[in-house]
Amino acid sequence: MCGIVGYTGKRKALGILLSGLQSLEYRGYDSAGISLKTKSGIETVKTKGKVIDLISLIAESRLDTSAKIGIGHTRWATHGKPSTENAHPHFTEAVSVVHNGIIENYRSIEKFLNNKGISRKTDTDTETIALLIDHYLKASLDFKNAFFESVKKLKGSFAIVALSKDFDYLMLAKHESPLVIGISEGETFIASDVSAMIEYTNNFIFLEDGDVALVDRDRITIFNEKLEETKRNTVQINWSKEKAQKGGYKHFMLKEIAEEDEAVRNTIQSRIDENGRILLDDEIKLDKEFLKNIDRITVVACGTSFYAGLTAKPILEKFTGVKVDVEIGSEFRYYDYLYSKNNLFLAISQSGETADTKEPLKMAKKRGIKTLSIVNVKESAIARLSDSCIYTLAGPEISVASTKAFTSQLAVLFMLAFYISQLKGKREAFEAAKKLLKIPSLIKQTFDLTEKTIKELADKYYKYQNFLYLGRGICFPLALEGALKLKEISYIHAEGYPAGEMKHGPIALIDENTPSVVVAHPKEPLYSKSISNCEEIKSRHGKIILVSSRKSTIVDDIIEVPEVDYDFAPFIYIIPLQLFAYHVAYLRGNDIDQPRNLAKSVTVE
């Protein structure tokens, strides 16, 4: 990941490619590159850094700028560190490729290539695609059929655009990662995002999962997953460039909630194999014997990241078999924490710059404690300070109110629990990891299933000034996070509470003007008691919104979510809570992406 552009037509490609890459810079990236089909073959320029660095490098090069067909990419590193070598495009003498997504089976493809005497030169999964196409070209297939054969071998999520030195067309493939074709007279544009093409055309074809396409300046041939020719509708979109960057959504927050399935998929796919084995050896540089013998995990974080830690606590304890403390960063540094002999300190931060998390991390390091961090932003301060870092691969999060960072952090925490458990030889962790691979599709299903209902509920409840959020077990931290989201962007007072504590104080708040949002999984150990809480609220004229996969006649309204194993409920149940906060804030006319008084990265204490 992160941004793809391509062009074939009557104009010089270079300026269009660079303009497209600049339009995609808002998505965040660590390197950039382009390939052009020139008279002398494929010419490629790429670099670690920003598009402006790429432009400077091109200006100093002898690149043939007259080329009228080319591809480009801005990369957010997944496989391999940010570097010029790992930047896209990846190429051979005959072919060049850009790719978003994860090739899950790249190791088996690499083994296939190695048996043919072909080896990778970079750390990326993407290079195996280029090498595979090149292999089939050398087997006397034309570009189209070499591409077909290569795509058949791929497993994972991908948007691919490939360029050949011998053929005047581009080949495309899409599966679970966006890819769009822009159409204009005598020229065709390709991008991962409409924003890269909106200044050139407003006519687009949105490829569907499984599609493969052959594209030249005035011909587009699309094949379905069975490689049969098919038709896709052309859609006319009259968006501003800003709206295009939001994918047509009114706000980045809604777009980022809609992207949570993709964000979690990107985070887990390259790190779990088909047997459920967690592949974190290259990222966790801590001694395996230490990890097998840790006797406590101390999680330190703030805000949404703190709630992610709280949510994952029972999973960490269940699979690692050790005590897990989850501490608020802003408080942690002010008391003398009692570390154990084999303590692992775990810092969580979306930005990697959160001062209230960074300072406790420094303190732990001074005490000689082994440290691990979970962050989203590459080369950030917390990542650099830690002994090891696992990056969430959520992509950039523009909205101040964090959404996809939460689910991606959860995904990493779950994988960490399974990884340590597997090091200890526990077989159940392999089966749990396989279940985690199914979560992205359930997240997408939840978004599609609940959004219409939530819009209607927001219209019913947006004028209320106080809310109580209740949950038990693994759903209790979701109540905290749901209340935080409502506070952050709607400016409504909301409290998250353990449902069992309601009668110990908060029940005094219940009346007809204070709705309660109850988060309850049917398989939680005390589900019947959560329903009893609903009875208590009802008897005091309180209104109840139940988030569950089981209906109840007691409540006023239900947001029904798909069925999911109890351990994995947080990934699913958080989606409607985020959507409810969004739609309430929207009806109240608030600045959702930049709520008052808040900053995306809190770098002061």
Integer angstrom CA distances of residue 550 from 98, 527, 545, 547, 572: 44, 10, 13, 9, 14
Numbers of helices and strands, H then E, in the chain: 19, 25
Is the pLDDT reported for residue 584 higher than 80?
A: yes
Neighbours of 211 (CB within 10 A): 20
Q: How confident is the model at residue 177 (pLDDT cuts 50, 70, 90)?
A: confident
Taking residues 195-217, what's their average pLDDT?
Answer: 92
Is the pLDDT reported for residue 604 higher than 60?
A: no
Residue 585, pLDDT score = 97
Is the pLDDT reported for residue 602 higher than 70?
A: no
> What is d(CA 266, CA 75) in angstroms, rounded to the nearest whole number?
13
**Which tens digits make up the pLDDT trace of 292-327?**
999 999 999 999 999 999 999 999 999 999 999 999
Residue 597, pLDDT score = 79
> What is d(CA 339, CA 320) in angstroms, rounded to the nearest whole number?
18
**Going by C-beta distance under 8 Å and a sequence separation of 6 or more, which residues neighbour residue 493?**
465, 466, 467, 487
**Omega within 30 of 0 (cis) for the link into 440:** no
Answer left, alpha or beta for residue 234, where phi above 0 means left and psi between -120 and 50 means alpha.
beta
> What is d(CA 549, CA 322) in angstroms, rounded to the nearest whole number?
31
> What is d(CA 323, CA 539) in angstroms, rounded to the nearest whole number?
39
Cα Rg of the chain, angstroms:
25
Q: Please report which helix (H) or strand (E) contains residue 32, including its range.
A: strand 31-38
> What is d(CA 567, CA 370) in angstroms, rounded to the nearest whole number?
28
Strands (E) across 116-166 are located at 156-164
**Average pLDDT of every residue of the chain:** 92
Neighbours of 603 (CB within 10 A): 12
> What is d(CA 498, CA 480) in angstroms, rounded to the nearest whole number?
9
Residue 237, pLDDT score = 83
* Dihedral (CA of 224, 225, 227, 228) sign: negative
Helices 404-423/260-269 angle, 10° precision: 30
Of residues 575 and 602, more confidence is placed in 575
Is the pLDDT reported for residue 76 higher than 80?
A: no
Q: How many residues comprise the chain? A: 605
Taking residues 458-480, what's their average pLDDT?
Answer: 96
Helices 13-23/51-60 angle, 10° precision: 160
Burial class (CB in 10 A: 0-12, 13-18, 19+), 117: exposed
Residue 603, pLDDT score = 43
**Which tens digits make up the pLDDT trace of 40-62?**
999 999 999 899 999 999 999 98
- Dihedrals phi, psi of 574, to nearest 5 degrees: -75, -25
Taking residues 330-352, what's their average pLDDT?
Answer: 92
Taking residues 484-495, what's their average pLDDT?
Answer: 96
Active site residues: 2, 600
Residue 600, pLDDT score = 59
Residue 599, pLDDT score = 65
Of residues 600 and 317, more confidence is placed in 317
Residue 601, pLDDT score = 52
Taking residues 165-169, what's their average pLDDT?
Answer: 94
Residue among 454, 330, 344 at smallest CA distance from 388? 344
Window from 310-324, 455-469, 589-603 with minimum mean pLDDT:
589-603
Residue 217, pLDDT score = 87
Please give the domain boundaries of the chain with CATH numbers for all domains.
2-245 (3.60.20.10), 254-437 (3.40.50.10490), 449-587 (3.40.50.10490)
**Which tens digits make up the pLDDT trace of 361-383?**
999 999 999 999 999 877 688 99
Of residues 322 and 499, more confidence is placed in 322
Residue 243, pLDDT score = 72
> What is d(CA 141, CA 134) in angstroms, rounded to the nearest whole number?
10
Is the pLDDT reported for residue 80 higher than 80?
A: no
Q: Which two tokens stand for residue 511?
A: 């009346």
Residue found by looking up tokens 């058949």 in the block: 152
Q: For 478-497, what is the HEC assignment?
A: HHHHHHHHHHHHHCCEEEEE
Cβ atoms of residues 498 and 471 within 8 Å: yes
Is the pLDDT reported for residue 5 higher than 70?
A: yes
Window from 241-250, 391-400, 557-566 with minimum mean pLDDT:
241-250
Residue 246, pLDDT score = 82
